[in-house]
Amino acid sequence: MQTKSSTSPTPASGAAPVDTSLASVVARIGQAREFGLLVVLAVIIAFVGVQQPRFLQISNFEHILQSIAIIAIVAVGETLVILTRNVDLSVGSVVGFSAFASANLLKNHPSLNLLLVFLFGCAIGAVLGAVNGLLVAYAGIPAIVVTLGTLNIYRGLDFAVAGGSEVSAFQVPTAFLNIAGDYVLGIPLLVIIAAAIALIAGYFLRYSRQGRQLYAIGSNPDAARVVGIRKSRLTFMAFLTTGILSGFAGVLWASYFATINSGAAGGLELLVIAAVVVGGVNIFGGSGTMLGAMLGAIVLGVIQNALGVLRVDQFWLQAIYGAAILIAVTLDALVTRQVQRLLIARRAQRE
């Protein structure tokens, strides 16, 4: 009539050797994303280069990297936050507030040590980031709500402090303005700073326990709790770090653009999030790399520059950014689904 379950026939392939080909293919999908971005970059560069050879000049690439350096610094922080399944929409306002406050500080105290100005910007960012972090990590309010609120509040503070005034290039020391335009060993200083920050953060993400725990939180918050990860604390730290980096970026912004009013860096958050998402960091947390996010920023910078070189109306820029995000996210979803299907098919075959 009926056989007992434990005597069911042994699946022949239960002890099959490690499926290295498939396993390694899947394991490399993460890297494949970065590889895909490199391909996209190469295609754009080749396409534009053929039409406008001056696009290919070294100085142009220098210019591109310089133009995205500040975005990249903020994107480093945003990546940490997005990995934990959160988002920080307030970064543009933090950059703007820090930019005006530090320029204004220098205007009033021109002889101030520039290092102190940077510390001042970082401190502002730390406070604003800590407010976000407290509300998200400890009060449990969704990040999108918290940071949409603080986006407006921080901008409002900026208006209140600036009161319609602006700090002009001639009102701050030239030494300060020179920072953003400086070169070290023939490389723009901004690019070196951004690269150094990205390298440190990338190392942290890959090689520290806390860095790995950020992935764990975003991948499965409940499982993270079970293995004893302090989710609130790490989430708070991610927001705090993003605040500090945004504050720091704000000082660079003031140096780069020289003339600052209360509207500085408005809408920057969208560029930053675009860079991170185009770079393959999953908006639902848990996966993505710092290298990817930086490549995402570079792709956006190259697109912007290419449009200029090709004399495409700047009007199109936003639409093209939007399209880049949609394409990146859609591709990501399609690839993930396809791989999943492939794996299920393989598994069914084994059984």
Partner 1 sequence: MTPAPPLAALRDITKRFGDVEVLRQVSFPLCAGEVHALVGENGAGKSTLVKILAGVHAPDGGSVLLDDQPVTLHNPAQAQRLGIAVIHQQPSLFPDLDVAENIYMGRQPLGAMRQVDWALMYREVNALLHRLDAHFDARTPVRSLSIADQQLIEIAKALSMTTRVLVMDEPTAALSGREVEDLFAIVRQLREQGVAVLFITHRLEEIYDLADRVTVLRDGAHILTKPIGEVTQAELIRAMVGRDMSALFPKQTTSIGTVALEVRGLTRKGEFRDVSFQAHRGEILGFAGLVGAGRTEVARAIFGLEPLDAGEIMLDGQPVSIHAPADAMRHGIAYVPEDRYEHGLVRQFPIVTNVTMPIWRAVSNRLGIVNTRRERDIATDYFNRLQIRATGIEQLTQSLSGGNQQKVVISKWLATHPQVLILDEPTRGIDIGAKAEVHRLISQLAAEGIAILMISSELPEVLGMSDRILVMHEGTIAGEFSRDDADQERIMAAAIGQAEGEPHAN
Residues forming the site for partner 1 (CB under 8 A): 1-2, 4-11, 13-20, 23-24, 26-27, 29, 203, 206-209, 212-213, 215-216, 218-220, 222-229, 282, 286-287, 339-340, 343, 347-348, 351
* Dist CA 212 CA 214 (whole Å): 5
Cβ 208 to partner 1, closest distance in Å? 7
Identity of the residue, 57 or 208, whose beta carbon is nearer to partner 1 in the bound complex: 208
CB of 231 to partner 1, least distance (A): 12
Strand partners, 183: 188
Residue 9 or 186: which CB sits closer to partner 1?
Answer: 9
Long-range contacts formed by 139-148: CB under 8 A, 24+ apart: 143/81, 143/86, 143/87, 143/88, 144/87, 144/89, 147/87, 147/88, 147/89, 147/90, 148/89
Rg for the chain, CA atoms, rounded: 23
Q: Residue 139 or 348: which CB sits closer to partner 1? A: 348
CB neighbour list of residue 210: distance below 8 Å, 6 or more residues apart: 204, 234, 237
Cβ atoms of residues 160 and 154 within 8 Å: no
Give the residue with the Cβ less far from partner 1, 23 or 42: 23
Cα separation, 290 vs 244, in Å, equals 17
Q: How far apart are CB 288 and partner 1 at their closest, in Å?
A: 9
Q: Which is nearer to partner 1, 129 or 280 (CB)?
A: 280
Instruction: Locate 154 and state its tokens.
Output: 């921080």
- Nearest approach, Cβ of residue 190 and partner 1 (Å): 28
CB of residue 343 to partner 1, shortest distance in Å: 5
Q: Specify whether the CB–CB gap between 57 and 305 falls below 8 A.
A: no
Is the Cβ of residue 17 or residue 140 nearer to partner 1 in the bound state? 17
Q: How far apart are CA 149 and CA 167, in angstroms?
A: 27
Whether 269 contacts 91, CB under 8 Å = yes
Nearest alpha carbon to residue 256 among 31, 52, 66: 66
Task: Quote the least distance from Cβ 335 to partner 1, whole Å.
Answer: 13
The nearer residue to partner 1, 69 or 201, going by C-beta atoms, is 201
In the complex, least distance from residue 35 CB atom to partner 1, rounded to whole angstroms: 17
Q: With respect to partner 1, which residue has the nearer C-beta, 23 or 312?
A: 23
CB contact set of 250 (below 8 Å; sequence gap of 6+):
94, 95, 96, 97, 98, 99, 101, 102, 121, 124, 125, 264, 265
Burial 264-301 (b: 16+ CB within 10 A, else e): bbeebbbbbbbbbbbbbbbeebbbbbbbbbbbbbbbbb
Smaller CB distance to partner 1: residue 57 or 336? 336
Q: How far is the CB of 136 from partner 1 (least distance, A)?
A: 21
CB of 137 to partner 1, least distance (A): 17
